[in-house]
Amino acid sequence: MALKIISSQCTSCSACEPECPNVAISEKNGTFVIDPKKCTECLGHFDAPQCAAVCPVDNTCVIDNSFPRYQVPA
């Protein structure tokens, strides 16, 4: 799994971008997107995904079930 940003809800405020420990977030076509290959759901870094914690619009940074759950390297 990874997180994704629902672009119709994104206000493009950029709050999430600097909080991501994996530098997985970037601006694309006026809203912010998460690179699922880089997203670790903040496991191993923080208690909760930072993008979702700082996002001002609820339910905008959500789990993308189409990706397998991230495993913290042993």
Partner 1 sequence: MQASIHEGTAVPSAAKVGEVMQAIAEHKGCGTSGGSGKASCGSAAGQGDLPTEIWEKVKNHPCYSEEAHHHYARMHVAVAPACNIQCNYCNRKYDCANESRPGVVSEKLTPEQAAKKVLAVASTIPQMTVLGIAGPGDPLANPEKTFKTFELIAKTAPDIKLCLSTNGLALPDHVDTIAGFNVDHVTITINMVDPEIGAKIYPWVFWKHKRYTGVEAAKLLTDRQLQGLEMLTERGILCKVNSVMIPGINDKHLVEVNKAVKSRGAFLHNIMPLISAPEHGTVFGLTGQRGPTAQELKALQDSCEGEMNMMRHCRQCRADAVGLLGEDRSAEFTTDKIMAMEVNYDLDTRKAYQAKVEEERVAKVAAKQEELSTLAGEMSDIKLLVAVATKGSGLINEHFGHAKEFQVYELSTAGAKFVGHRRVDLYCQGGFGDEESLETVIRAINDCHAVFVAKIGGCPKADLLTAGIEPVDQFAHEFIEKSAIAWFKSYLDKVNSGEIEHVERGDAEIRQGALISAA
Site for partner 1 contains 35 (CB under 8 A): no
Instruction: State the Cα–Cα distance between residues 63 and 65, nearest whole angstrom.
Output: 6
Residue 12 found at the interface with partner 1 (CB under 8 A): yes
The pair of structure tokens assigned to 37 is 């290959």
Beta bridge partners of 50: none
Closest to 49 in 3D by CA, of 14, 1, 3: 3
57 binds partner 1 per the rule CB under 8 A: yes
Task: Check binding of 15 to partner 1 (CB under 8 A).
Answer: yes
Q: Give residues in contact with partner 1 (CB under 8 A).
A: 9, 11-15, 18-19, 46-48, 50, 53-54, 56-57
